[in-house]
Amino acid sequence: MREIESFDAIILGAGLSGLSVADSLMELGYQCAIVDAGFPGSGASGAPMMLANPATGRRARRMWRAEDCFDSLLKYLNKIDRITGRRCYSMNGVIRPALTAEIADDFNRSPDKYEWLPGWIEWIDSEKFSEQFPYFNTNFGGLYIPKGITLKGADYCESLVQYLESQNCYTLFGSKPEILKNGNQWIIQIEGDIQLITPIVIDATGYQQAMNENWSFIPLHPIKGQTATLHFDENIPLKHSVSSLGYIAVMPENPYQITVGSTYEHHFRDLKPDQKGLSYLQGKLEKTLPGFWEKSKSVKQWASVRVSVQDKMPVIGEHPELKGLFFIGAMGSKGLMMSRYVADILAQKICNRIPLEPSLSLERFI
């Protein structure tokens, strides 16, 4: 017997963007469903550990709307903790060591140059930095970003799903949907005679968007990334996560492991972790924290693909020809930091017809 359900909006993809926009819409009174051919966080959102770091790029530039993005994320995390009782993150800050004199000069000027608010970023001179963090391979000082958050990606996505389901969000995972247009309605056909009907479909499928002809006008660029989680027999000295030649994520409640991550391959053949990526991460870690790799007792690899565009800004909006089909994605390495705030902007566009600013709208590519 065919199961037919109707919703105000259906979100395709259970990663950071999809789960965030579902909650944003539900807060505005929409009844939502989330459909994913895989499982929650099965793409780049499921990284073993990831950082929300507002100081981006080589010069520690202040991220687009850093304060708004951070506040939205933290509010979201606190809400999920309160409902689910599962804490999957740590506000342990981020260290950015200056590995050269040139980078040190950039970092030293960053707090004033990029108009950081007080308490968001701190320059530490070489002498003080060496005293506080003697394990880094630098004599040039560095930055401390207190607002940095370290988070377990897969656990976060699972907690989001648990929270959304508690708010009566319909979820369906593990079956590839067929998407059909019927007048003003979209039909999502699922194996097993499940049919979901809605006027609004939001594509939040990440890497799959780059292979979807509907979005061929958006210059999406997929990049493979890989992580290596290192386990140790003894406590490691790191208390803060690190942004240096990629990232080194650590959570104080688990002082026996670190996760080293980086995007490293623009032209890849498969999505599996490989020796090339592992060697790449080992070299990155050795330049920042010499000797750590050799002290580890085991290494677990993970790989995925994330998508960005040339201007490094998120992309949201409605398809120019297919009414009711929306896009959210292309957040690159800033997905954790940006996803909840950007989801709110898209939800306001859908529910209240508030225009999108040009820097975010997919119309900038038309």
- Rounded Cα distance between 47 and 227, Å, is 8
Q: What's the pLDDT at 2?
A: 59
Please report where in the chains the tokens 């579902």 appear, as a residue.
22
Give average pLDDT by consecutive 10-residue segment, the chain, 366 residues: 83 97 98 96 94 92 96 94 90 96 94 92 96 92 97 95 96 92 93 89 97 97 96 94 95 94 88 92 94 94 96 97 97 94 98 97 96
pLDDT tens by residue, 270-312? 899 999 999 999 999 999 999 999 999 999 999 999 999 999 9
Domains located in the chain, CATH noted: 3-46+154-219+311-365 (3.50.50.60), 94-146 (no CATH), 221-308 (3.30.9.10)
Distance of alpha carbon 290 from alpha carbon 358, whole angstroms:
44
pLDDT digits (tens, 9 = 90+) for 124-160: 999 999 999 999 988 899 999 999 999 999 999 999 9
d(CA 7, CA 15): 20
**Contact predicate 33/11, CB 8 Å:** yes
Q: Using CA atoms, how far apart are residues 43 and 58, in angstroms rounded to an integer? A: 26
Please give the pLDDT value at position 191: 80
| 136 vs 221: CA distance, rounded Å | 33
Residue 35: the pLDDT is 97
Spatial separation of the C-alpha atoms in residues 242 and 358, rounded to whole Å:
33
CA 168/CA 161 separation, integer angstroms: 11
